[in-house]
Structure 1
């Protein structure tokens, strides 16, 4: 009789593999502060060199580990580093990584409630906690997603179904020019014509202007279109700006529109008192996106959506299938496949539930409050340092700045400044364009970034400015 190769490892082999990989991970995390902030030199050549045909024979696990730790992981942006201040950091909590490993190893199916009722309840608990954090009522339902992009997509789908039903071609959506591009992509994927996506000019503080929204809504109504959704930002990616959330809520109520908030970056700041004061009105939205892989510091691949009227989320996603007739869900529980585009998916909620249970909510609240204090400290340093200027006033934890050289082109100098900082390996910063002006961004959000790292970062920026000046 022909038998297939055994893919099951022995208990001893599993133990050895787990221990060797764990040692490598612990060593990697322990040495993070001394490691490069990024390493993208010869990136294209390195990537091309890794092309290979499908393997026809096996490779020892230790060789594969060495390959990953030496030839793959180092050639990247080190987004787990304490000095990673680019884009939107998160850090990646180790307990969340362990939770992902556990979830994958036991391989429980959480797509439908009856396949793993206890696991589904833990995910539901975490989402109910999120609803409480945002001031949402008991009828709220939510889903975990891979990130803000798919969470925003499901929000648009829910709004489209509730207000437009089948009349998609006339639907119009309203958002500011600082809204994350994934919202526009979500609207396009949801079938909203691109010509009906109203991207409206923001004010000098990069916030939405409700008056512009209302003018656009009135014009569309006059032209026979069907306004259906307003999008507000609880912390934009560019500057961390917070839109006038209460005014947008009043506008949506006035015209009976769905009010959605993209809080992927900034929503969890509602946990701390200072953040709550800044985010007044977030509780008036119909839906909100929150990314645990940002504000709760879990590894990449964990977003979420809350919808205040949970039945609206369900109606926009639920379908029946004969092969699912054996499943059942009690009235007070959630079958996530009925609220999401996904049927098969990982046990995502465990990577949120485990660290929240381990550390407790106050630990996250205090970490988020610390990031706001650190941002204010660095912002004041930029204002006090001759030659530097900030292009926005930070509301959360993003600072945009540039240096004004005594001569030469400002944008060109700052492009060289950012490139020099990146090349030095001492700090990772990203850039953006604000009202046509090149700006360097600092985003302070990682749980590994504290006062020492922020002070060092500021000194690196000053040093880099002096070095670039010498070359002019």
Structure 2
């Protein structure tokens, strides 16, 4: 049958498409420093105008590439920008993008070891490295996910299965009220009733209060509930606070609970000397979530989960089928699909493996140490300003602060200051609520963010506040 359009491209066409795309992307990256930190004017109208039906006929690649680079990419918050210090930045390493291209173009099936043994091996190598960095034993196993949400989901499922089985009606979870909302979201998806989430108050530094955890656990036990999971934070999203990890571990052991640490943001700081001191106790957890798209600067869509006794993760996820009977896995190897909800999946670990092999661990350690220094520098500068106040000194690289106006409502003054700052389009920060009060918030983490960008951010903060 003769087809009008051939999906199999000639080598010449493939080469030209690749060259055109690479040229456009490199030009985009090279112009990041002078580009605006965001461009959202008319975003609703633009979004509506782009709604369209599928076309029966194709289009020229160059015109589609131009459309993406001119009409889609610019109309956004510029997350790879050197002065993007909102939420939890990462930056997106170019080497990872190259890895994604290789992985997608070669299109290997990585859900099982049998289909791509070597690919499964190098993914598991990276996960083994992560386990070693966290102080986990050889029994640990892990999985790459799309991000912290699905990594936390598999952790909750493993904890539930191991501690209370399918008897979820009275299963209770304990975490501080600064815990990322995705933990509660995935716990609900895992079948835990929302009334069984215990989101507990924090101390003046926004860290968990171990004594309160124990008090509530005791109360629940008297009521016939089934406590099964404690969640500790290795760097909260709001303030970057690190919970008392050792004390929470002691409580989990005392009452036979699974101890999970959400280290999506802060866990990778454990490869630094300063970070390792601050994260003491992380090795005592039963499971840890780490997001390479945060602390390792990998593009979005890179999460991971480690479980100290990996067989418990496998038992919670393994399920076979008749049509899988041809596949086998040696006893010392790992089938990714047996440790995750996914069967079909991309070669997700390649985007982490390639940069780690290309640059070496030392390069990432140096970058994380730089971010710790820059966060302390910015905190000290803001703290020294008489018209500003900060929360406690940063455990990692998040600084929450606010302006104190001489008159008027403090929350309204900070809302105005926030708008004035981002409307400069010089840098982008975010905001949060702490005890109901409006705070500005910076997170310094992108590999493109250096002293010059942080100094410029401080200058703009001070200038905009002075105009109040």
Normalising TM by the smaller chain, what interval?
over 0.9
CA distance in 1, matches of 2:422, 2:12: 44
- Deviation string 1:100-157 (CA, Å, 9 cap, x unpaired) is 1110010000001110000000100000000001000001000000000000000000
Deviation (angstroms), 1:2: 4.6
Within 2, Cα distance between the matches of 1:250 and 1:391?
A: 28
Structure 2 Cα separation of the partners of residues 178 and 154 of structure 1: 21
Matched, 1:103 2:83: no
* Counterpart check, 1:314 vs 2:298: no
Q: Report the equivalent of 1:267.
A: 267
Asked whether the 8 Å contact 2:149–2:186 carries over to 1, the reply is yes
**Mean alpha-carbon deviation: is it higher for 236-245 or for 418-427?**
418-427
Note if contact 2:319-2:338 (Cα within 8 Å) is conserved in structure 1.
yes
Q: What's the secondary structure of 1:275's corresponding residue?
A: helix
Find the counterpart in structure 2 of residue 455 from structure 1: 455
Rounded Cα–Cα distance in structure 2 between residues aligned with 1:4 and 1:162: 56
| Conserved? CA contact 1:239–1:394, under 8 Å | yes
CA distance in 1, matches of 2:426, 2:376: 22
1:8 counterpart SS class: coil
Distance in 2 of aligned mates of 1:328 and 1:200: 46
For the 8 Å contact 2:205–2:391, the answer to whether it is kept is no
Q: Secondary structure at the match of 1:230?
A: strand
Match of 1:193 in 2: 193
SS of residue paired to 2:199: strand
What are the residue-to-residue correspondences of 1:82-231 with 2, within 5 Å? Answer: 82-231=82-231
Equivalence map 1:5-404=2 (5 Å): 5-404=5-404
- Please list every run of at least 4 consecutive aligned residues from structure 1 whose deviation after the TM superposition is greater than 6 angstroms: none
Q: TM-score, length-normalised on structure 2?
A: 0.99
Q: Structure 1 CA distance, aligned partners of 2:190 and 2:306?
A: 18
In structure 2, C-alpha distance between the alignment counterparts of 1:234 and 1:222, rounded to whole Å? 30
Instruction: Kindly provide the CA deviation profile for residues 261-309 of structure 1, in whole angstroms up to 9, marking residues without a partner as x.
Output: 0000000000100000000000000000000000000000000000000
Q: Note if 1:409 corresponds to 2:409.
A: yes
Q: Is contact 2:176–2:200 with CA below 8 Å preserved after alignment?
A: yes
Distance 2:68 2:100 in 1: 19
C-alpha RMSD over aligned residues: 0.8
SS in 2 for 1:114: coil
The alpha-carbon deviation at position 388 of structure 1 amounts to: 1.0
- Determine if contact 1:391/1:439 at 8 Å carries over to the other structure: no
Residue-by-residue CA offset, 1:9-30 (whole Å, 9 max, x unaligned)? 1100001110011000000001
Residue deviations 1:408-441, cap 9 Å, x none? 1111011011111111111101000011110000
Shift of 1:462: 1.2
- Determine the C-alpha separation between the residues in 2 that align with 1:74 and 1:421: 20
2: CA distance, partners of 1:248 / 1:3: 64
* Contact persistence 1:293–1:300 (CA under 8 A): yes
Cα distance in structure 2, aligned partners of 1:422 and 1:323: 55
Distance between the aligned counterparts of 1:45 and 1:342, measured in 2?
37
* Residue in 2 that maps onto 1:429: 429
* 2: CA distance, partners of 1:17 / 1:356: 28
**Distance in 2 of aligned mates of 1:9 and 1:320:** 37
Name the CA distance, whole Å, in 2 between partners of 1:325 and 1:422: 57
- Spell out, residue by residue over 1:327-360, the C-alpha distance to the aligned partner (whole angstroms, 9 max, x if none): 1101111001000000001000000000000000
Where does structure 2 lack aligned partners over 5 or more consecutive residues? none
CA apart distance, 1:5: 2.9
Shift of 1:3: 3.9
